[in-house]
Amino acid sequence: MALVTALLLTISSVTLAAGFLVKEGSRGEDVRTVQTLLQERGYYQGEITGICEQDTVEAIKDFQRANNLEVDGICGYQTYNRLNPPKVTHDYAQAVPMTVTAYAYSPQDPGLSSHTSSGTPLRRGVIAVDPSVIPMGTWVYIPGYGEAVAEDIGWSIQGHTIDIAFDTHDEALSWGRQTIEIFVLY
């Protein structure tokens, strides 16, 4: 049974990552996958039916509230990626190095929103990028910082420039501006 569930999750994650939405009235394997993930995290108590009814919608909303996502009861790209985040292998042998100018920012900075341009909370582990250089959703490893995902863009982020999110203004000030080598994971 566990093998079947793992296989279903793998197959369905490709479909969901491509933009499929699970919303009220949806049916099929993608709904089963979302119900299973919600159940594993304690948000869904119902039967895994593959039909997105009100109980599944409420579980999605509870998960979204708990994870500071837009609460709409629809499991789209952002909700699914938070529900089933990509697994980073920590095998950096295949990573592509890239030299960038890295600035730091935080949700405490004056004039900044507490959310990224993609709608996720601005938090440690997020970078702002020029999507023509680093596509949105790309994972990178930043020495001295750790892994981060491209979830934000900014008017001053052009070319090989990134903004690295920190939780506090003081952390961002401490990082400042640096020219560094990052590693593009996927």
- Indicate whether 100 and 176 sit together in one domain: yes
Q: How many domains does the chain have?
A: 2
Residue pLDDT, tens place only, 72-130: 999 987 888 888 876 555 566 678 899 999 999 998 888 888 888 888 888 888 999 99
- Indicate whether 179 and 110 sit together in one domain: yes
- Indicate whether 25 and 76 sit together in one domain: yes
- Indicate whether 179 and 97 sit together in one domain: yes
Domain boundary among 54, 83, 112: 83
Question: Which residues are registered as beta bridge partners of 146?
Answer: 142
- Indicate whether 77 and 33 sit together in one domain: yes
Domain boundary among 43, 58, 83: 83
- Indicate whether 57 and 75 sit together in one domain: yes
Rg, C-alpha atoms of the chain = 18
- Indicate whether 67 and 125 sit together in one domain: no
Domain boundary among 83, 115, 133: 83
- Indicate whether 69 and 102 sit together in one domain: no
- Residue with tokens 């790309």, as numbered in its chain: 138
CB 63 within 8 A of CB 45: no
- Indicate whether 52 and 13 sit together in one domain: yes
CA-closest candidate to residue 153, choices 183, 113, 184: 113
What predicted TM-score, i.e. pTM, was given to this entire model?
0.54
Residue 19: CATH number of its domain: 1.10.101.10
Answer whether residue 5 shows pLDDT above 50. Answer: no
Give the structural domain span for 131. 92-184
Residues 6+ apart with CB under 8 A from 60: 22, 34, 38, 43, 73, 74, 75, 79
105-123: b or e for each residue (b if 16 or more CB lie within 10 Å)? bbbebeebeebbebebbbb
Residues 6+ apart with CB under 8 A from 104: 163, 164, 165, 166, 171, 172, 173, 174, 175, 176, 177
Residue 116: CATH number of its domain: 2.40.40.10
pLDDT of residue 53: 96
- Indicate whether 43 and 9 sit together in one domain: yes
Residue pLDDT, tens place only, 26-48: 999 999 999 999 998 889 999 99
Range 16-33 average pLDDT = 79
Residue pLDDT, tens place only, 143-167: 888 889 999 998 889 999 999 999 8
- Indicate whether 22 and 61 sit together in one domain: yes
- Indicate whether 108 and 74 sit together in one domain: no
Distance between CA atoms of residues 90 and 99, nearest Å: 20
